[in-house]
Structure 1
Amino acid sequence: MAASLPFTLLAIAFYIAGASWVILHLARKVPAKPALVRFVGLSALLTHGLALYSHMGLPNELNLGFIEATSLANWLICAFILIASLRHPTLNLAALLFPLAAITLLFSQFYASSSLPVTGHNSLFFHIVASLSAYSLFALASVQALLLALQNHQLKHRQVSGLLSVLPPLQTMERLLFELLLAGQLLLSLGILSGFIFLDTMFVAGMLHKTLLSLAAWLTFGLLLLGRWRFGWRGLTAVRWTLGGSLLLLLAYFGSKFILQFILA
């Protein structure tokens, strides 16, 4: 773990620098400079990835306890922020999510997981990455949904200052939310399907709740996307369904790991 410490410290510094610039921009103290934020964010991802590679025991093992899984999920979330920013105004999310990635990376550096390493197989790693990528997109969608709810509230009460003044138009926010949901649903479908193909433990006692919660989340997001296409669902309806499905995924992916490692242990 000591070998990864320089990468951990560099990644944290880059994350804090990127988030600080975005926060200063939102406070109208500095210009936007999206290219600068992307460069700093990309540097944070690179160093975070190198540190996480060591924390997970790769390439010979795959040690994915609660802390490592959370750090990997936050790495994916920040990567999706940067990728989406090439088409959509998502860099403002870095003000919250870059520091969160830094905190989880710091924990993974100094708090080694107590779970047993799992021998790495390509099929298992594919399933894990697909599932965590789906969760990361839905986590971004949840943040987007909360901002959309706040934006709706401010518009109804005719509050044109504060956060509303720096957010994109409502239609842009809703379009981005449903694009995140659609991409997340595709990845979640891939994760669930790969689990059924490559794993034989989807319905054993210790994994049954995860499988059922994942399927419930998949159904929730599927109904939301169908409602959007067929009935034009939007606004608070979309917010509630998004947060509900994301909560199911949070319990499926991280609930059992947290209970096993920090409560039952």
Structure 2
Amino acid sequence: MSLTFSLIAAILYAIAGWRALRIKVEGEHLVLTVALLAHAAALSQQVIAGSNLVIGIAESLSMLGFLSSLMLWVFCFREPLHALGVVHYPVTALWALAPAFFTDHGHPIPLADWKIGLHIIFSLLSAGLLTLASIQAIATLSLDRMLRKPANIMVLRRLPPLQTMERLLFQLIFFGFFLLSLTLVSGMLFVNNLFAQHLVHKTVLSFCAWLTFGMLLWGRMRHGWRGRTAVRWALSGYAVLVLAYFGSKVILEQVLGRSWY
């Protein structure tokens, strides 16, 4: 049954991405709403196993796609972010199918441990927002390059001004940075021994990503960083964050056959 829901979600995400490409906002919210509901139904069957959570690499990708798409759906009600769906929704369509075809699941995590649950929630929410921020950074850089070519004037008329794109970029980074801070703090609540739980490299890389985003926000407030400088910092921070999470999961679960829990 989860495969059926995953297929429905993937098809509807692809349709939403196509409509975003054609800049057809009408009906996009409805299509995306049904896609998110189908995706949530699939995840509930793939991730919850009795009184445990089972989150492998494929499930992590799917959850990341779901949460970032959900946040984009919410933000689009008040901000002109529909263009991000051109890239984001097709990628999420592929991620939604991942758990149905990759059967190497992660280690069970007890739902009764509220500290772990809180940490996971903060971790996924921060990753979702910063995923959106990275796509927004790429879109901002693309818009900056398009502005230098007069031939793109027809396309530019349908896109938000560059100042609006940069403002939205830093809003996403700020809230993502805040949630990443909560992720690090909540992790400290239940990690008793970093070496015993094989979390040293993940913690160090996560902190490096936190520092990168923090420096970017500081540079924005103090020196007015923008444009390509801001994009480079944003994408660098996101790359380190992806390495911290997915790199750690690949090494621990696929290579060493261990769990961080």
Instruction: Say whether the fold is shared (TM-score over 0.5).
Output: yes
Give the letter for the 1:189 counterpart: S
- Which is further off, 16-25 or 254-263? 254-263
Q: Does 1:15 align with 2:13?
A: yes
CA contact (8 A) 1:66 1:257 kept: yes
Distance 1:114 1:4, change over 3 A: closer
Distance 1:122 1:205, change over 3 A: closer
Alpha-carbon displacement from aligned partner over 1:172-192 (angstroms, at most 9, x marks no partner): 000000000000011001111
Residue 249 of structure 1 is matched in structure 2 by: 241
Give the letter for the 2:174 counterpart: L
Give the letter for the 1:138 counterpart: L
Note the aligned Cα RMSD (angstroms).
1.9
2:32 aligns with one of 22, 25, 41:
41
Deviation at 1:262, TM superposition (A): 4.8
Distance 1:23 1:194, change over 3 A: same
Distance 1:89 1:114, change over 3 A: same
Give the letter for the 1:90 counterpart: L
Taking the aligned partners of 1:263 and 1:100, their CA distance within structure 2 comes to: 26
TM-score (normalised: structure 2): 0.91
Q: How does 1:71-90 map to 2 (within 5 A)?
A: 71-90=62-81
1:61 aligns with one of 48, 52, 64:
52
Percent of aligned positions with the same letter in both sequences? 38
Residue 120 of structure 2 is matched in structure 1 by: 128
SS at match of 1:145: helix
Residue 184 of structure 1 is matched in structure 2 by: 176
SS at match of 2:35: helix
CA contact (8 A) 2:57 2:249 kept: yes
Q: Any stretches of 5+ residues in structure 2 without a counterpart?
A: none
Give the letter for the 2:2 counterpart: S
Residue 5 of structure 1 is matched in structure 2 by: 3
Residue 193 of structure 1 is matched in structure 2 by: 185
SS at match of 2:147: helix
Q: Does 1:107 align with 2:98?
A: yes
Q: Any stretches of 5+ residues in structure 1 without a counterpart?
A: 26-30
Taking the aligned partners of 1:230 and 1:213, their CA distance within structure 2 comes to: 25
